[in-house]
């Protein structure tokens, strides 16, 4: 059992690095562009390249409203998260905020849940990567057999490669992320611009007539709970806050900006897709439904272009999630809530290599299951718990008003924004599938049991270190 304190005074923040007692460990190398790339790159994947078929099958064209609901909830959480991040720009994001505001028990629950939630999300993205990579082979005329085995093998390969690259340096990860997101956005803007003109009847053929909400109102909310995984990216920015340059400015811009950008893309995608093919055809196409939309617009070249975009998107989502999961585990280990080995840093590359292995290993195991919807909903559940507690943390710290809490950005509309954010986050959990809830609750219960067994004597000093 851990019996040492983990005082926050061991951390010192400068413009160049986050320094610990043992020396400089995590350099501040991620600027605003990199922060936006992490947020947008994580979120832009699943909502466009995995979910349209699943979402349209559940809610019809009203799935666009489901994505809009998810974006609004994400904004109500992103704003409080931005304030907390500028007051505590440390690696670990939501874990760090909650542990300092609500204590080590809830900190341990969130830290472990965030690590595992991002592992589930990373596996979900890599399953999508395998699906798109297989589709590229099929379009190229390569004979394939054993679809499930090939998808799993490709996903495992992607997980191992991304983990190895992250160990080799954060600069490698962010450089790849910036390049992928830039190319991806160019492809999507062109695709959605034409699709919007087609939907409005300016170009192309007739759109598919369909009721907006053919299955009623309730599926809109259940679909919002499913697709909320698509909005986990802004929180990933907070988990690498210890590596963001000029955090007082760049953290809020990256988090809020990424939610707004991605929300617009998602709503436009569902509108275009359901207008082009209809909900039933999208549902039948499954996880590569958007490829069939592109084929409808542009033929084989369009299908290939979107397949390549899907590959880019799923890689960027998995890349950012693996990076963020490792930082959550790293921060939890620095605070002695999990064994200290997880916070070891590679002296050559300056990365938490043990934490990265403890992320990449479980990810490749989960990829082999191929349970896409289950992985997505469990990740959403664990993140929604954290989001609700982030909003509660802001309310608690504002009420206590400790001397050390001096954010450079404050939430507009306080206290309404964090209250709505907390209620919406916890409320959305009620609309998830029962099996996903059971697994999510089991993870939380396991985190509580771990805290009682291993870390119940851990305490934190009041406040954060001086910059």
pLDDT class of 259 with cuts at 50, 70, 90:
very high
130: its two tokens:
């395998």
The predicted-structure confidence for 160-196, as pLDDT tens digits, reads as follows 888 887 777 666 667 777 788 788 888 888 888 988 8
Q: Is residue 65 part of a domain?
A: yes
pLDDT of residue 419: 97
How far CA 50 is from CA of 14, 64, 289, in Å, comes to 40, 14, 8
pLDDT class of 15 with cuts at 50, 70, 90:
very low
Q: Is residue 22 part of a domain?
A: no
pTM value is 0.78
Q: Is residue 15 part of a domain?
A: no
**Gap between the Cα atoms of 460 and 463, Å rounded:** 9
**Gap between the Cα atoms of 138 and 130, Å rounded:** 12
83: its two tokens:
């304030």
The CATH number linked to 148 is 1.20.1740.10
The predicted-structure confidence for 189-220, as pLDDT tens digits, reads as follows 888 898 888 877 777 666 666 788 888 888 89
310: its two tokens:
């899907």
Q: Is residue 206 part of a domain?
A: yes
Q: What is residue 213's DSSP assignment?
A: S
Half-sphere exposure of 408 (CA within 13 A, CB side): 13
**Gap between the Cα atoms of 123 and 365, Å rounded:** 8
pLDDT of residue 465: 47
| Domain with 80 in it | 31-455
Q: Is residue 379 part of a domain?
A: yes
**Helix or strand holding residue 146 (H, E):** none
pLDDT of residue 102: 92
pLDDT of residue 449: 95
Residues contacting residue 52 through CB under 8 Å, at least 6 positions apart: 63, 269, 270, 273, 282, 289, 290, 293
Q: Is residue 246 part of a domain?
A: yes
> Using omega within 30 degrees of 0 as the cis cutoff, is the peptide bond preceding 201 cis?
no
Please check whether residue 207 is in contact with residue 198, taking contact to mean a CB–CB distance below 8 angstroms: yes
Query: 3-class SS at 295?
Result: helix
Domain count, the chain: 1
**Gap between the Cα atoms of 223 and 216, Å rounded:** 12
Q: Is residue 249 part of a domain?
A: yes
319: its two tokens:
């890349």
Placement of tokens 């209809």 in the chain? 278
Residues contacting residue 33 through CB under 8 Å, at least 6 positions apart: 178
Q: Is residue 241 part of a domain?
A: yes
**Which of 10-19, 65-74, 152-161, 442-451 is the least confident region?**
10-19
């Amino acid at each position: 059992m851990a019996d040492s304190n983990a005082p926050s005074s061991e951390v010192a923040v400068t413009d160049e690095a986050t320094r610990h007692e043992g020396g400089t460990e995590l350099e501040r190398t991620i600027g605003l562009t990199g922060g936006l790339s992490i947020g947008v790159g994580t979120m832009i994947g699943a909502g466009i390249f995995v979910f349209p078929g699943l979402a349209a099958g559940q809610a019809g064209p009203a799935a666009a409203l489901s994505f809009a609901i998810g974006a609004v909830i994400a904004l109500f959480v992103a704003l409080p998260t931005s304030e907390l991040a500028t007051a505590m720009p440390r690696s670990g994001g939501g874990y760090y905020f909650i542990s300092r505001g609500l204590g080590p028990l809830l900190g341990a629950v969130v830290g472990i849940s965030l690590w595992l939630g991002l592992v589930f999300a990373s596996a979900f993205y890599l399953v999508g990567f395998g699906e798109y990579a297989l589709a590229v082979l099929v379009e190229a005329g390569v004979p394939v057999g054993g679809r499930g085995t090939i998808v799993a093998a490709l996903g495992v390969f992607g997980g191992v490669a991304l983990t190895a690259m992250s160990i080799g340096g954060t600069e490698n990860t962010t450089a790849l992320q910036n390049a992928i997101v830039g190319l991806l956005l160019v492809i999507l803007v062109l695709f959605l611009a034409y699709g919007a003109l087609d939907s409005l009847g300016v170009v192309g053929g007739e759109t598919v007539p369909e009721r907006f909400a053919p299955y009623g109102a309730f599926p809109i909310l259940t679909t919002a709970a499913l697709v909320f995984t698509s909005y986990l990216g802004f929180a990933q920015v907070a988990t690498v806050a210890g590596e963001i340059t000029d955090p007082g400015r760049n953290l809020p811009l990256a988090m809020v900006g990424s939610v707004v950008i991605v929300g617009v893309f998602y709503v436009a995608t569902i509108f275009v897709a359901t207008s082009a093919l209809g909900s039933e055809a999208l549902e039948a196409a499954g996880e590569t439904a958007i490829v069939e939309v592109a084929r409808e617009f542009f033929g084989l070249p369009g299908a290939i272009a979107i397949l390549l975009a899907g590959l880019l998107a799923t890689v960027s989502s998995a890349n950012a999630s693996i990076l963020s999961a490792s930082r959550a585990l790293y921060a939890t280990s620095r605070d002695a809530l999990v064994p200290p080995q997880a916070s070891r840093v590679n002296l050559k590359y300056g990365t938490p290599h043990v934490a990265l292995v403890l992320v990449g290993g479980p990810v490749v195991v989960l990829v082999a299951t191929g349970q896409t919807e289950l992985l997505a909903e469990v990740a959403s559940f664990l993140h929604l718990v954290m989001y609700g507690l982030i909003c509660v943390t802001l309310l608690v710290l504002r009420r206590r008003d400790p001397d050390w809490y001096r954010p450079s950005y404050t939430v507009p509309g306080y206290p309404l924004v964090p209250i709505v954010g907390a209620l919406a986050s916890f409320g959305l959990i009620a609309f998830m599938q029962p099996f996903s809830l059971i697994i999510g609750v089991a993870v939380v219960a396991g985190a509580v049991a771990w805290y009682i067994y291993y870390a119940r004597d851990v305490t934190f000093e009041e406040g954060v270190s001086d910059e």
